[in-house]
A and B are shown apart, each in its own frame.
Chain A
Amino acid sequence: MDSQLSQYLPVLMLAAVAVAATAGMMILSMMLGKLGRRSKAKDTAYECGMIPVGNPTPRLSMRFYLVAMLFILFDIEVIFLYPWAVVYRRFLEHPAMANPILFSMVSFLGVLLVGYLYALKKRAFEWRN
Protein backbone atom coordinates (compact mmCIF):
# COMPACT_ATOMS: atom_id res chain seq x y z
CA MET A 1 0.00 0.00 0.00
CA ASP A 2 1.57 3.28 -1.02
CA SER A 3 1.89 6.38 1.09
CA GLN A 4 -1.11 8.27 -0.25
CA LEU A 5 -3.49 5.43 0.34
CA SER A 6 -2.14 4.76 3.80
CA GLN A 7 -3.18 8.27 4.76
CA TYR A 8 -6.70 7.00 4.46
CA LEU A 9 -6.08 4.18 6.92
CA PRO A 10 -7.28 6.25 9.92
CA VAL A 11 -10.48 7.00 8.02
CA LEU A 12 -11.03 3.32 7.52
CA MET A 13 -10.33 2.67 11.18
CA LEU A 14 -12.73 5.40 12.20
CA ALA A 15 -15.41 3.88 10.00
CA ALA A 16 -14.79 0.45 11.49
CA VAL A 17 -14.93 1.83 15.04
CA ALA A 18 -18.13 3.73 14.26
CA VAL A 19 -19.84 0.67 12.84
CA ALA A 20 -18.62 -1.54 15.66
CA ALA A 21 -19.66 0.94 18.37
CA THR A 22 -23.18 1.52 17.07
CA ALA A 23 -23.77 -2.12 16.27
CA GLY A 24 -22.35 -3.11 19.65
CA MET A 25 -24.59 -0.66 21.49
CA MET A 26 -27.67 -1.86 19.72
CA ILE A 27 -26.92 -5.53 20.13
CA LEU A 28 -25.83 -5.22 23.76
CA SER A 29 -28.87 -3.22 24.73
CA MET A 30 -31.05 -5.77 23.04
CA MET A 31 -29.34 -8.61 24.79
CA LEU A 32 -28.87 -7.10 28.25
CA GLY A 33 -31.60 -4.56 28.64
CA LYS A 34 -35.32 -4.96 28.41
CA LEU A 35 -35.65 -2.06 25.98
CA GLY A 36 -35.16 -4.19 22.94
CA ARG A 37 -37.89 -6.62 23.84
CA ARG A 38 -41.06 -5.43 22.30
CA SER A 39 -44.42 -7.04 22.15
CA LYS A 40 -47.65 -5.96 20.63
CA ALA A 41 -49.11 -5.01 23.96
CA LYS A 42 -46.07 -2.90 24.82
CA ASP A 43 -46.38 -0.92 21.60
CA THR A 44 -49.97 0.20 22.18
CA ALA A 45 -50.83 3.47 23.89
CA TYR A 46 -50.70 3.41 27.68
CA GLU A 47 -54.02 2.89 29.46
CA CYS A 48 -55.99 6.08 28.94
CA GLY A 49 -53.61 7.39 26.26
CA MET A 50 -54.96 8.32 22.89
CA ILE A 51 -54.84 5.81 20.09
CA PRO A 52 -52.73 7.67 17.52
CA VAL A 53 -54.57 8.69 14.39
CA GLY A 54 -53.28 10.04 11.13
CA ASN A 55 -49.82 10.29 9.75
CA PRO A 56 -47.11 10.35 12.45
CA THR A 57 -44.70 12.20 10.16
CA PRO A 58 -46.17 15.52 9.09
CA ARG A 59 -45.28 16.73 5.63
CA LEU A 60 -42.48 19.22 5.57
CA SER A 61 -42.83 22.78 4.43
CA MET A 62 -41.74 23.78 0.95
CA ARG A 63 -39.18 26.06 2.55
CA PHE A 64 -36.96 23.13 3.48
CA TYR A 65 -36.68 22.34 -0.19
CA LEU A 66 -35.42 25.80 -1.01
CA VAL A 67 -32.85 25.66 1.78
CA ALA A 68 -31.63 22.26 0.61
CA MET A 69 -31.46 23.39 -2.98
CA LEU A 70 -29.43 26.48 -2.16
CA PHE A 71 -27.23 24.37 0.06
CA ILE A 72 -26.43 22.04 -2.85
CA LEU A 73 -25.61 24.94 -5.14
CA PHE A 74 -23.23 26.57 -2.68
CA ASP A 75 -21.83 23.16 -1.82
CA ILE A 76 -20.83 22.68 -5.45
CA GLU A 77 -19.26 26.10 -5.38
CA VAL A 78 -17.19 25.13 -2.36
CA ILE A 79 -16.04 21.87 -3.91
CA PHE A 80 -14.38 23.86 -6.69
CA LEU A 81 -12.44 25.86 -4.12
CA TYR A 82 -10.76 22.67 -2.98
CA PRO A 83 -8.61 21.92 -6.08
CA TRP A 84 -8.05 25.64 -6.49
CA ALA A 85 -6.62 25.95 -2.99
CA VAL A 86 -4.41 22.93 -3.57
CA VAL A 87 -2.75 24.34 -6.69
CA TYR A 88 -2.86 28.03 -5.82
CA ARG A 89 0.69 28.34 -4.47
CA ARG A 90 2.13 26.27 -7.29
CA PHE A 91 0.54 28.59 -9.83
CA LEU A 92 1.78 31.68 -8.00
CA GLU A 93 5.38 30.57 -8.55
CA HIS A 94 4.92 31.02 -12.31
CA PRO A 95 4.75 34.75 -13.04
CA ALA A 96 2.56 34.17 -16.09
CA MET A 97 0.00 32.25 -14.09
CA ALA A 98 -0.14 34.33 -10.92
CA ASN A 99 -2.84 36.73 -12.04
CA PRO A 100 -4.96 34.25 -14.02
CA ILE A 101 -5.23 31.78 -11.15
CA LEU A 102 -6.48 34.50 -8.84
CA PHE A 103 -8.86 36.10 -11.28
CA SER A 104 -10.31 32.87 -12.57
CA MET A 105 -11.58 32.19 -9.08
CA VAL A 106 -12.55 35.81 -8.50
CA SER A 107 -14.74 35.81 -11.59
CA PHE A 108 -16.23 32.44 -10.65
CA LEU A 109 -17.11 33.74 -7.20
CA GLY A 110 -18.20 37.06 -8.69
CA VAL A 111 -20.84 35.39 -10.82
CA LEU A 112 -22.00 33.38 -7.84
CA LEU A 113 -22.10 36.55 -5.77
CA VAL A 114 -24.77 37.78 -8.17
CA GLY A 115 -26.78 34.68 -7.38
CA TYR A 116 -26.17 35.17 -3.68
CA LEU A 117 -27.29 38.80 -3.79
CA TYR A 118 -30.34 37.75 -5.72
CA ALA A 119 -31.24 35.13 -3.13
CA LEU A 120 -30.63 37.65 -0.37
CA LYS A 121 -32.82 40.23 -2.03
CA LYS A 122 -35.55 37.69 -2.67
CA ARG A 123 -35.46 36.81 1.05
CA ALA A 124 -34.72 33.21 0.21
CA PHE A 125 -32.63 32.91 3.36
CA GLU A 126 -35.29 34.27 5.66
CA TRP A 127 -37.18 31.68 7.55
CA ARG A 128 -40.38 33.60 8.23
CA ASN A 129 -42.13 35.57 5.52
Chain B
Amino acid sequence: MQDILFYVFAALTLVCGFLVVANPISRSPVTSALFLVLTIVSLSGLFVLLHAFFLAAVQIVVYAGAALVLFLFVIMMLDLKAEERRRITRLGLIGGGLVAVAMAWLFRVVPREAALVASGPAHVEGSTPALGALLFTQYLLPFEAISLVLVAGMVGAILLSRKEPS
Protein backbone atom coordinates (compact mmCIF):
# COMPACT_ATOMS: atom_id res chain seq x y z
CA MET B 1 0.00 0.00 0.00
CA GLN B 2 2.76 2.43 0.98
CA ASP B 3 4.75 1.54 -2.11
CA ILE B 4 1.77 2.11 -4.35
CA LEU B 5 1.09 5.46 -2.70
CA PHE B 6 4.73 6.42 -3.11
CA TYR B 7 4.60 5.75 -6.82
CA VAL B 8 1.30 7.62 -7.16
CA PHE B 9 2.61 10.72 -5.36
CA ALA B 10 6.00 10.59 -7.05
CA ALA B 11 4.40 10.33 -10.47
CA LEU B 12 2.01 13.18 -9.63
CA THR B 13 4.91 15.33 -8.46
CA LEU B 14 6.87 14.73 -11.63
CA VAL B 15 3.95 15.17 -14.02
CA CYS B 16 2.74 18.35 -12.33
CA GLY B 17 6.28 19.67 -12.09
CA PHE B 18 6.64 19.14 -15.81
CA LEU B 19 3.33 20.88 -16.47
CA VAL B 20 4.49 23.90 -14.45
CA VAL B 21 7.33 24.63 -16.84
CA ALA B 22 6.13 23.11 -20.07
CA ASN B 23 2.38 22.91 -20.35
CA PRO B 24 1.47 21.93 -23.91
CA ILE B 25 -2.14 23.16 -23.64
CA SER B 26 -1.96 26.46 -21.81
CA ARG B 27 0.89 28.93 -21.65
CA SER B 28 -0.77 31.03 -19.01
CA PRO B 29 1.41 31.60 -15.93
CA VAL B 30 -1.68 31.24 -13.75
CA THR B 31 -2.10 27.65 -14.94
CA SER B 32 1.55 27.03 -14.17
CA ALA B 33 1.10 28.38 -10.65
CA LEU B 34 -1.89 26.14 -10.06
CA PHE B 35 0.06 23.12 -11.21
CA LEU B 36 2.76 24.18 -8.77
CA VAL B 37 0.13 23.89 -6.02
CA LEU B 38 -0.56 20.32 -7.12
CA THR B 39 3.17 19.57 -7.16
CA ILE B 40 3.53 20.84 -3.63
CA VAL B 41 0.52 18.91 -2.40
CA SER B 42 1.84 15.66 -3.84
CA LEU B 43 5.25 16.43 -2.36
CA SER B 44 3.65 16.77 1.03
CA GLY B 45 2.08 13.36 0.43
CA LEU B 46 5.60 12.01 -0.03
CA PHE B 47 6.65 13.67 3.22
CA VAL B 48 3.79 11.96 5.05
CA LEU B 49 4.98 8.62 3.70
CA LEU B 50 8.43 9.43 5.13
CA HIS B 51 6.85 10.15 8.53
CA ALA B 52 7.89 13.81 8.22
CA PHE B 53 4.47 15.05 9.30
CA PHE B 54 5.62 18.49 10.28
CA LEU B 55 7.27 19.09 6.93
CA ALA B 56 4.11 17.90 5.21
CA ALA B 57 2.11 20.46 7.15
CA VAL B 58 4.66 23.18 6.37
CA GLN B 59 4.44 22.35 2.68
CA ILE B 60 0.70 22.84 2.68
CA VAL B 61 0.42 25.80 5.05
CA VAL B 62 3.39 27.87 3.92
CA TYR B 63 4.04 26.89 0.32
CA ALA B 64 0.66 25.92 -1.08
CA GLY B 65 -1.14 28.34 1.20
CA ALA B 66 0.93 31.49 1.36
CA ALA B 67 3.78 31.44 -1.14
CA LEU B 68 1.53 30.47 -4.01
CA VAL B 69 -0.94 33.21 -3.13
CA LEU B 70 1.94 35.64 -3.43
CA PHE B 71 2.96 34.08 -6.73
CA LEU B 72 -0.53 34.54 -8.07
CA PHE B 73 -0.73 38.13 -6.91
CA VAL B 74 2.56 38.95 -8.53
CA ILE B 75 1.53 37.20 -11.73
CA MET B 76 -1.69 39.19 -11.84
CA MET B 77 0.13 42.40 -11.08
CA LEU B 78 2.41 42.09 -14.07
CA ASP B 79 1.63 42.26 -17.72
CA LEU B 80 1.93 38.72 -18.87
CA LYS B 81 1.05 38.85 -22.52
CA ALA B 82 4.75 38.87 -23.38
CA GLU B 83 5.38 35.83 -21.22
CA GLU B 84 2.61 33.89 -22.90
CA ARG B 85 4.04 34.55 -26.32
CA ARG B 86 7.54 33.56 -25.41
CA ARG B 87 8.94 30.38 -26.86
CA ILE B 88 11.96 28.39 -25.85
CA THR B 89 15.07 30.01 -27.29
CA ARG B 90 18.06 28.16 -28.66
CA LEU B 91 20.27 29.33 -25.81
CA GLY B 92 17.76 28.07 -23.27
CA LEU B 93 17.54 24.76 -25.07
CA ILE B 94 21.32 24.29 -25.11
CA GLY B 95 21.71 25.38 -21.50
CA GLY B 96 18.87 23.16 -20.35
CA GLY B 97 20.31 20.25 -22.32
CA LEU B 98 23.70 20.70 -20.69
CA VAL B 99 22.17 20.80 -17.23
CA ALA B 100 20.14 17.68 -18.03
CA VAL B 101 23.27 15.82 -19.17
CA ALA B 102 25.15 16.93 -16.05
CA MET B 103 22.29 15.80 -13.82
CA ALA B 104 22.11 12.46 -15.62
CA TRP B 105 25.83 12.03 -15.05
CA LEU B 106 25.44 12.84 -11.36
CA PHE B 107 22.60 10.37 -11.03
CA ARG B 108 24.79 7.78 -12.68
CA VAL B 109 27.91 8.38 -10.60
CA VAL B 110 26.69 9.45 -7.19
CA PRO B 111 24.58 6.51 -6.02
CA ARG B 112 27.40 4.15 -6.92
CA GLU B 113 30.05 5.87 -4.85
CA ALA B 114 28.17 7.82 -2.23
CA ALA B 115 26.81 6.41 0.97
CA LEU B 116 24.43 8.98 2.38
CA VAL B 117 24.10 8.85 6.12
CA ALA B 118 20.41 9.51 5.90
CA SER B 119 19.72 6.47 3.72
CA GLY B 120 17.93 3.42 4.98
CA PRO B 121 14.42 3.11 6.36
CA ALA B 122 12.78 6.26 7.63
CA HIS B 123 13.20 6.95 11.31
CA VAL B 124 10.17 7.89 13.31
CA GLU B 125 12.30 10.71 14.76
CA GLY B 126 10.96 12.97 12.06
CA SER B 127 7.85 13.36 14.17
CA THR B 128 6.75 16.74 15.42
CA PRO B 129 7.50 16.24 19.16
CA ALA B 130 11.07 15.19 18.38
CA LEU B 131 11.45 18.19 16.16
CA GLY B 132 10.04 20.50 18.80
CA ALA B 133 12.36 19.07 21.45
CA LEU B 134 15.35 19.80 19.23
CA LEU B 135 14.14 23.18 18.07
CA PHE B 136 13.68 24.56 21.55
CA THR B 137 16.93 23.23 23.02
CA GLN B 138 19.72 22.60 20.52
CA TYR B 139 18.49 24.98 17.84
CA LEU B 140 16.96 27.63 20.06
CA LEU B 141 19.21 30.39 18.77
CA PRO B 142 18.46 29.94 15.06
CA PHE B 143 14.78 29.88 16.01
CA GLU B 144 15.06 33.21 17.80
CA ALA B 145 17.11 34.65 14.96
CA ILE B 146 14.33 33.75 12.56
CA SER B 147 12.06 36.21 14.36
CA LEU B 148 14.57 38.94 13.47
CA VAL B 149 14.65 37.76 9.86
CA LEU B 150 10.86 37.95 9.76
CA VAL B 151 10.85 41.47 11.18
CA ALA B 152 13.47 42.60 8.66
CA GLY B 153 11.34 41.06 5.94
CA MET B 154 8.23 42.80 7.25
CA VAL B 155 9.91 46.20 7.35
CA GLY B 156 11.32 45.62 3.89
CA ALA B 157 8.02 44.54 2.37
CA ILE B 158 6.18 47.54 3.77
CA LEU B 159 8.91 49.99 2.77
CA LEU B 160 9.42 48.77 -0.74
CA SER B 161 5.79 48.41 -1.72
CA ARG B 162 5.06 52.03 -0.81
CA LYS B 163 4.83 54.69 -3.40
CA GLU B 164 7.32 57.39 -2.57
CA PRO B 165 5.65 60.78 -2.12
CA SER B 166 8.06 62.63 -4.36
Contacts and interface: CB of A to CB of B under 8 A. Distances in A.
Q: In the complex, is A directly touching B at CB under 8 Å?
A: yes
Interface string A46-85: 0000000001010111111110111111011111101110
B96 interface: no
Interface residues of B, number: 49
Interface string A78-100: 11101110110011000001001
Given A62-B161, A72-B70, A97-B137, 20 more contacts: A1-B2, A5-B2, A61-B77, A62-B77, A65-B77, A66-B157, A75-B61, A76-B66, A77-B147, A77-B150, A79-B58, A82-B128, A83-B128, A83-B131, A87-B129, A104-B140, A107-B144, A108-B143, A108-B146, A118-B155
B153 interface: yes
Given A62-B161, A79-B62, A104 B153 contact: no
A79 B148 CA distance: 16
Contacts, number: 139
A119 interface: yes
Contacts of B140: 100, 104
B27 to A, nearest CB: 15
B73 A64 contact: yes
Instruction: List 4 tightest A-B contacts by C-beta distance, closest first.
Output: A87-B132, A83-B132, A111-B147, A115-B151
B124 interface: yes
Given A4-B53, A4-B127, A86-B128, A68 B73 contact: yes
A111 to B, nearest CB: 4
Contacts of A4: 51, 53, 124, 127
Contacts of B154: 70, 73, 115-116, 118-119
Interface of A: 1, 4-5, 8, 12, 55, 57, 59-66, 68-73, 75-80, 82-84, 86-87, 90-91, 97, 100-101, 104, 107-109, 111-112, 114-116, 118-119, 122, 124
Given A60-B76, A73-B157, A5 B51 contact: yes
A122 to B, nearest CB: 5
Contacts of A108: 143-144, 146-147
B150 A87 contact: no
B97 to A, nearest CB: 35
A92 B163 CA distance: 48
A83 B135 contact: yes
Interface in B24-74: 48-49, 51, 53-54, 57-58, 61-62, 65-67, 69-70, 73-74
Nearest to B69: A68
B142 to A, nearest CB: 11
